[in-house]
Amino acid sequence: MGFDVEAATRAYLDALQGAARARSDAYFEGGYWLILFGALVSALVYWLMLHTGWSAAWSERARRITSRRWLQPALYSVPFAVAGTLLTLPWTIYTGFVREKQFALMNLTFIQWLAEQAISLVVTIIAIAIVFVIIFAVIRKAPRTWWLWGTGATAALLVLAIMIAPVFIAPLFNEYTPMSPGPLRDDILTMARDEGIPADDVYVFDQSRQTDRISANVSGIGPTVRISLNDNLLNRATPSGVKAVMGHEMGHYVLGHLPRLVLYNSALAAVAMFLLWWLGPRLLRRFGERWRARDVSDPAVAPLFAIVIVILGVLVTPLVNTIARTVEAEADAFGLEAAREPDGFATIAMLLSEYRKIEPGKWEERFFYDHPSGRARVRRAMEWKARHLGELPADQRLIVRPPALKPLR
């Protein structure tokens, strides 16, 4: 008897109904507007920095403090980052805390959330200081071709960030501990060895402090490669679901998605750098005196650069989402082959659909989804199951009817 892919897919999708489905749809659809409004808020804040003369004052203060031009952008970056964070704080509180609480996706208290924002601010200041020192040095040294050299510098910084994040950044927000020995850990490490991933341990991080969302990753480069999964995944998913997730994450590593994403982001950076190189001098000729910004090598132009990047970011959102969604679909296919857990994979797709609209329209998915929709993922899993039905144990060949998903908390 054949396996009915459509009936199996519908059995999973129908598990998300009523209040749970309405909440998931409302949360995700609201995020569409947040992209636009967030960009408007950011652009307004950067415009205020230019219009009020704050940016010029920060640059002048940096020049008074030190005559070393290479250090001035780093000094400028401190008030730039702090002011930007404070001016956008009401918006950040709404989007990052209030709205998350409304949809039962936040477990932190407001004070705990603010403490994490403070840590993020410190990391941001350090990161912006490094970026500004390098980019403005490039502008000074190669005024005619700085956009090319700036693109190369951006690519190098992306690789550095990917390398250090698992070891130096992620532990600032969560505690990472080795996974307890057992069959599930052994299965994950066996999958890793089979796929050539150089990791001899699996780490669990306590993300349940912040949220009930499930998450995992294979992060880092070279000596910092780390296999990690959060405690929510262990507590909320079955072992087959955990293995399905880890197969997907290993797919990113094995398929070379990190280098590809560095390449894609570097290409976008090249577009942004070229626009800044072309637009910067023209805008400064018209508005530079009003903004008290001397030329593009003056850190005072940073808010102008930021506005251009924000606008470009909104315009390329569909492209960026399409690239990411394609990469995620490739990892899905890899994970199904590596873990061979189609029902575990489908169950995870349903858990993710607690906060991702499960059945979007065609253009809705193309424009706004950076992962395949829940419907697409469940169907992919059931299609894989149908193709490999004879290879699965007898108790896994049936159509699974999962229990209905309840609203979070």
Q: What is the pLDDT of residues 274-303, one digit of tens each?
A: 999 999 999 999 998 999 988 999 999 999
User: Model confidence at 407, in pLDDT bands (50, 70, 90)?
Assistant: low
Question: What are the φ and ψ backbone dihedral angles of 216, each rounded to 5 degrees?
Answer: -165, 165
Whether the pLDDT of residue 408 is over 80: the answer is: no
d(Cα 285, Cα 67) in Å, to the nearest integer?
26
CA-to-CA dists, residue 329 to 154, 255, 364, 381, 387, angstroms: 27, 12, 17, 11, 18
Whether the pLDDT of residue 304 is over 80: the answer is: yes
DSSP annotation of 53: S
Whether the pLDDT of residue 359 is over 80: the answer is: yes
Whether the pLDDT of residue 403 is over 90: the answer is: no
pLDDT computed for residue 396 by the predictor: 74
Give the model confidence (pLDDT) of 118-153 as tens digits. 999 999 999 999 999 999 999 999 999 999 999 999
User: Model confidence at 73, in pLDDT bands (50, 70, 90)?
Assistant: very high
Q: What is the mean pLDDT of residues 22-41?
A: 96
Q: What is the mean pLDDT of residues 312-318?
A: 95
Give which of 47, 128, 35, 29 is closest to 290, Cα–Cα: 47
Reported as type and span, the H/E element at residue 202 is: strand 202-205
Question: What are the φ and ψ backbone dihedral angles of 66, each rounded to 5 degrees?
Answer: -145, 145
d(Cα 354, Cα 78) in Å, to the nearest integer?
39
Q: Are strands 216-219 and 176-178 parallel, antiparallel or unpaired?
A: unpaired
Reported as type and span, the H/E element at residue 204 is: strand 202-205
pLDDT computed for residue 39 by the predictor: 97
What is the share, in percent, of the chain residues with pLDDT greater than 90? Answer: 91
d(Cα 214, Cα 348) in Å, to the nearest integer?
9
pLDDT computed for residue 51 by the predictor: 94
Question: What are the φ and ψ backbone dihedral angles of 217, each rounded to 5 degrees?
Answer: -165, 155
Q: What share of the chain is helix, strand, coil (3-state, %, to 5)?
A: 75, 5, 25
DSSP annotation of 407: P
pLDDT computed for residue 404 by the predictor: 64
Strand partners, 390: none
Give the model confidence (pLDDT) of 154-173 as tens digits. 999 999 999 999 999 999 99
Q: Under a CB-based contact definition with an 8 Å cutoff, are residues 255 and 330 in contact?
A: yes
Tokens of 130: 């490094």
d(Cα 170, Cα 120) in Å, to the nearest integer?
11
CA-to-CA dists, residue 382 to 330, 332, 376, angstroms: 16, 12, 10
Residue scoring higher pLDDT (407 or 371): 371
Reported as type and span, the H/E element at residue 218 is: strand 216-219
Whether the pLDDT of residue 406 is over 70: the answer is: no
pLDDT computed for residue 3 by the predictor: 84
d(Cα 101, Cα 88) in Å, to the nearest integer?
19
pLDDT computed for residue 193 by the predictor: 95
Q: How would DSSP label each residue in 277-308?
A: HHHHHHHHHHHHHHHT--STTSGGGHHHHHHH
What is the residue-averaged pLDDT of the chain? 94
Q: Under a CB-based contact definition with an 8 Å cutoff, are residues 64 and 55 in contact?
A: no
Question: What are the φ and ψ backbone dihedral angles of 173, each rounded to 5 degrees?
Answer: -110, -20
pLDDT computed for residue 95 by the predictor: 97
The one-letter code for the residue type at 344 is: G
pLDDT computed for residue 294 by the predictor: 81
Three-state DSSP class for 17?
coil
Whether the pLDDT of residue 316 is over 90: the answer is: yes
The pTM of the full predicted model, rounded to 2 decimals, is 0.93
pLDDT computed for residue 321 by the predictor: 96
What is the share, in percent, of the chain residues with pLDDT greater than 70? Answer: 98
Whether the pLDDT of residue 399 is over 80: the answer is: no
- Please give the distance of CA 194 from its chain centroid, rounded to a whole number: 27
pLDDT computed for residue 390 by the predictor: 85
Rounded to a whole number, what is the distance in angstroms from the first to the last CA of the chain? 41
pLDDT computed for residue 391 by the predictor: 85
Give the model confidence (pLDDT) of 197-246 as tens digits. 998 899 999 999 999 999 999 999 989 999 999 999 999 999 999 999 99
Whether the pLDDT of residue 196 is over 80: the answer is: yes
Tokens of 50: 């230019």
Torsion sign, CA atoms 47, 50, 54, 59: positive
